[in-house]
Amino acid sequence: MQRRHIDLVEVRPFLAIDLDVDEESVHDLRCGGILERLVRHDMAPVARRIADRQQDRPIQPLRLGERFSVPGAPVHRVVTVLQKIGAGLMGQEILGHRPLAAWDRRADSIAEAEPPSSGDTVFALSSGQPPAGVAVIRASGPGVRFGLETLLGRIPEPRHATLATLRTADGEPLDRALVLFFPAPASFTGEDVCELHVHGGRAVVAAVLRALGELPGFRPAEPGAFTRRAFVNGRADLTEVEGIADLVAAETEMQRRLAIGQAGGGLRRLAETWRTRLVEARAFLEAELDFSDEDDVPETLANLSDAIADSVAREIEAHLGDAAFAERVRSGFEVVLLGAPNVGKSSLLNALAKREVAIVTAEAGTTRDTIEVRMDLDGYAVTLVDTAGLRETDNLIEREGVRRARARGEAADLVLLLSDGDEGSRFALPDTSASVLRVRSKADLNAIDSDPNRWDVAISAPTGQGLDALRQAIAASLGLRRAGPDPLVTRERQRIELEQACTALRAASTESVIELKAERLRQAGDAIGRLTGRIDVDDWLDVIFREFCIGK
C-alpha cells in the first residue's frame, strides 16, 4: 500500500468532515500535516476508500487523475476550523488548492504542484566539497515534502533509507540516490528535513543543487542555518549550539571531548539544575515576605534561601576554576621558542613538527619573522612559534623581528628558552606570566654544563635526543596531565554569564532586605537564562552562527 503526498489530493471533500475530537488540536499541525490529520482522523466515512474507525491508516493508492467523491456530511465544523488556521498555517491556500495527482514514473508524466507557502526551505551541501565518494545534501523547511514529491514522485518512509532516482521537474534523471526523510518535529531542526546521499562528483552535486534551487520557496542555506533553526525551534539551547560548532571545528581528541559534552547538553542540564534551585530559593523568600504574619511559616525561610544560593555559587565557582583551561583547550595553547640567534630554535621547530617548516642554516639571524606550526600534543592543540633570535641589532628588519619575538613571548602560555651553553647566548627574558622551560640545545655537540640544574631538559634536534622528555615537560607545564571530569565552561561568553550569576549570588548573601535579596536571585537566574539562550541573546546569535560552515 503506497501513501500519497497529501498536498496532491483534492481537498474540497474534506470540508464536509465532521470532526469528533477537539477541533483546536488541528491548529498545532502545519502545512500538509493539517490535511493528513483530517484524512487519518478517526471519523465517520466521508469518502470512498477511507473506512470508519481506521485511525492512522494510510490512504489507499490513487490512480493518476483520480479524486475523492464528495460526501454529503455536515460542513460547518470543519469550515470553522480551517478558517481559524490562517494564512500562516496554509489556511488560505487550502481552500484554493487545485486538484492534483502524484505523477507516475512509469508514465513519465508529472502534474504541476504548488509548494507550501508558510516560510522558506533552505538547502545546502552538508558534506565535504566534491569530488568525494558520497555527497550529502540537506534540506529543511515546510517545502521538503513538496521537494521530495518533485524529485522522487513520492514521500519516503520516515527514517528509512530509500534508494530512488532523483529527477528534474521535466522527468530528466539526475542521479541514483539514497534518500532519508525526517518529519517535523522529530528532526534536527524541528522542521521537515530530508537528506539526499548522492554520488560526490562535482557535476552531480551541482545538478542536484540547481534542481533544488529551481523549486519555489527553496533557497541556499547561509552558514549555520540548520543549527539556527534547531535553536529557534527549541531543539537545542545556546550551549548545545556552541558545542555543535566546536565539534565541527575540533582538531584534537580533547577538543572533540569538550565539544561532545557541550553538544550533548552537559552544561545545559547543569544550568537548568541551578536555575531550578534558584527558583526554589526565591520561593522561600516570597513565602517569608507574603506570609510573615502567619504562625505556620517558619522564620528560617530566608536562611534556607541563603543556603541554596551559597551552594549554587560554590558550584559555579568550581566550574569557573576550570574555565580558563577549557578556553585554551578549545582555542589551542601557544608555545613560543625564544633564544639568541643560531641556538637551534628552527631546528627544534622542525623536529617537533616532524617536517621542514623553517629554514635552517649556519648563518645567524636566518629567521626574521615568526613561524607557526599547529601540532597535536597528547590530544591537545598546541601552536609552536619560532621567532627571530634575540640580540641588539641595527638592521631594521631584524629589529622588528626581535620586537615581535618578545611580544609573542609575553603573550604565550609557555616559553621554551633555548641556549646552547655559550655564555653569549644569554639574554634578558621578556616580561611574561607564562611558564618557562629552560632547554639546553645541541646536546650532541657541546658538553653539558657542570651544573645540570640550570636546564630543565637537554635536547639534540638532529639526533632526537631528549625530544620525548621535552614533550612530556611541555605537557606537564601546560597542565595537560589533568585528572577528573572534563570542563564544561569552554567559552568566554559562558564564563562571563556565570561570573555575573555568581556575583549576584554573593551579593544576595549580604543583603538584609528580603526584597533586595530576591532581586539579586532574579539577576542570577537571568544570567543563567542568558547562558542557555532563554532570554536576551539576540546580540550573540549572529556572532555564534557566523562560526558555522554552510550545511550545518
Q: Which residues are annotated as a binding site?
A: 138, 195, 235, 342-347, 361-367, 386-389, 552
**Angle (CA) 215 219 224, round 5°:** 145
Segment holding 437, helix H or strand E: strand 435-440
Q: Percent helix, strand, coil in the chain (nearest 5)?
A: 45, 15, 45
Q: Are 4 and 67 in contact (CB under 8 A)?
A: no
Cis geometry, peptide bond prior to residue 116 (ω within 30 degrees of 0): no
C-alpha distances in Å from residue 399, one per residue of 96, 127, 387, 405: 77, 46, 12, 10
CA nearest neighbour of 530 among 486, 490, 506, 499: 499
Residue ranges of the annotated binding site for GTP are 342-347, 361-367, 386-389
Residue ranges of the annotated binding site for Mg(2+) are 346, 367
CA nearest neighbour of 446 among 433, 436, 455, 435: 455
Q: How does strand 414-419 pair with strand 333-339?
A: parallel
What is the DSSP code string of 148-207?
Answer: HHHHHSSPPPTTS-EEEEEE-TT--EEEEEEEEEE-TTSSSSSS-EEEEEEEE-HHHHHH
Q: Which residue has the cell 569538550?
A: 258
Query: What are 417's strand-pairing partners?
Result: 338, 438
User: Phi and psi (nearest 5°) for 199?
Assistant: -65, 145
- Cα(475)–Cα(485) distance, integer angstroms: 18
Segment holding 373, helix H or strand E: strand 371-377
Residue ranges of the annotated binding site for (6S)-5-formyl-5,6,7,8-tetrahydrofolate are 138, 195, 235, 552
Query: What are the b/e assignments for 174-185, b being 16+ CB within 10 Å?
Result: bbebebbbbbbe
Q: How does strand 371-377 pair with strand 380-386?
A: antiparallel
Q: Are 195 and 203 in contact (CB under 8 A)?
A: no
C-alpha distances in Å from residue 402, one per residue of 409, 410, 421: 11, 13, 21
Q: Which residue has the cell 631546528?
A: 347
